[in-house]
Amino acid sequence: MNSVHVPNELSQLLEESNVHIQMSVPQLVEKILSRNEGKLTSTGAISVSTGKYTGRSPQDKFIVMEESIKDKIDWGNLNQPISEDVFNNLYHKVLDYLKERNEIFVFKGFAGADKKTQLPIQIVNEFAWHNLFAHQLFIRPSEEELLTHKPGFTVISAPNFKANPLVDGTKSETFIIISFEKRTILIGGTEYAGEMKKSIFSIMNYLLPENNIFSMHCSANIGVEGDVALFFGLSGTGKTTLSADPKRRLIGDDEHGWSSNGVFNIEGGCYAKTINLSREKEPQIFDAIHFGSVLENVVLNPDTRIADYDDATLTENTRAAYPMHAIENIVQPSIAGHPNTIVFLTADAFGVLPPISKLTKEQAMYHFLSGYTSKLAGTERGVTSPEATFSTCFGAPFLPLPATRYAKMLGEKILEHNANVFLVNTGWTGGEYGVGSRMKLSYTRAMIQAALEGELNNVETVKDDIFGLNIPLHIAGVPDEVLQPNKTWADPQAYDKKAKELADKFRENFKKFTRVDSEIEEKGGPIA
């Protein structure tokens, strides 16, 4: 992934006297406080509000329709095309806008821990706290690397610049636009910092497969014996929580590549959900939040400045951004060997999927392509309660290429490295959302520990009558009845009705995969 020179217009902007390049964390914290962009918490973290947008804006994300990529992108509602003229006009407007700001901030770093394939990036920000966020989330360069750093992609973020849809060709005041030919991402009209993170992930999901590297929306960790585990799942399903295991070293919490040498983290930090966070439940995440961390939309006690992680007044989607080194038990650099265990995480709002089941190869491919979960409140604008959704490959909003491209790569990796695959439901049990309860984290941890340690490879199982999934009958630390969802419902007929309703949704969703081997659908999907 070769770097390119910065366009002249941007070079001129970066040479202005009001541009702060590569400020340190203490400098950025001081600047944030002086500009009244955030408050210092009792632990030294910076608490900020993202205004009216407390989640991503997927309907405002576009890819420029350019000659070199137009036949490769999976165009549609998730990868919306926009013209080069629209991008160019907004690009110059945003640069002109930034030139008028009293101060702007620049971070230079990398995406991808594997130095053979990492992408040099630079982030240009209107807000100092956004630059601190980039400093915490992406891979920081050494002083030597900084001397020769030439960005291969640039993010330009101007939250206070609002687009005019009638004039600028956008859908709203907000825009996130990727130009692969100009190697630039434009972001405006939203203060939600996660747009920067996910935009870089989106371009890596194009660039890595083009280099024969499987890009993945997953967390990863490694055991004492060198065994590697991957955790796939959308926001809120438990990727960050479950991969932060004190008994295993963390490789990364959200984005990875899988090359011929093994897996590597794309990022240099973590972006953890903090709603209901406590040291008791998630000690690694809780203790990682200290000086320089960024807390998004977390309510503070005005007197003590202590964060109230149980307060969802602003949003359910409260977040903490902190660097990898804030966690003691990590792999440095963030690279490891080939995975032994792969876990698909889903938060089933129907309450009918088993808490854990071992998948055959066909089932693994089916559920990877399906990417079923429940979209949780606050993750996107307008989502106020869990909604059943199918996000292809557990990351459809961030995948520019056709789903079959990623699925094919996963299938090849599973076969080549003989990885065990499990489907784990971290959602509801004993009834659907509003009736049942969320699966206990202690149960989920016990089940995953059993899977990672190989205890489920040869245990007695029962086949689910509707989904055809193989469910273990006994797992230490988990009540037997919890393992079989039909036994947790007070009304068996209500369970059957709801399970068949979800099975029908799986079948309907899978119809869109017209070029998939029929065996995957026949042997991998629901059986009733």
Catalytic residues: 56, 198, 217, 235, 239-240, 254, 319
* Pairwise CA distance, residues 155 & 159, whole Å: 12
* Pairwise CA distance, residues 204 & 189, whole Å: 24
Torsion angle of the four alpha carbons 329, 334, 335, 340, in this order, in degrees rounded to the nearest 10: 50
**CB-based contact 439:425 (threshold 8 Å):** yes
User: CA angle at residue 372 from 368 to 373, to 5 degrees?
Assistant: 130
DSSP 57: -
DSSP 67: T
Which amino acid does the sequence have at 291?
F
* Pairwise CA distance, residues 202 & 195, whole Å: 10
* Pairwise CA distance, residues 414 & 404, whole Å: 15
Helices (H), 433-486: 441-452, 480-483
* Pairwise CA distance, residues 207 & 50, whole Å: 30
Here the tokens at position 183 are 């190697």
* Pairwise CA distance, residues 175 & 188, whole Å: 5
Helices (H), 211-249: 239-243
**CB-based contact 469:357 (threshold 8 Å):** yes
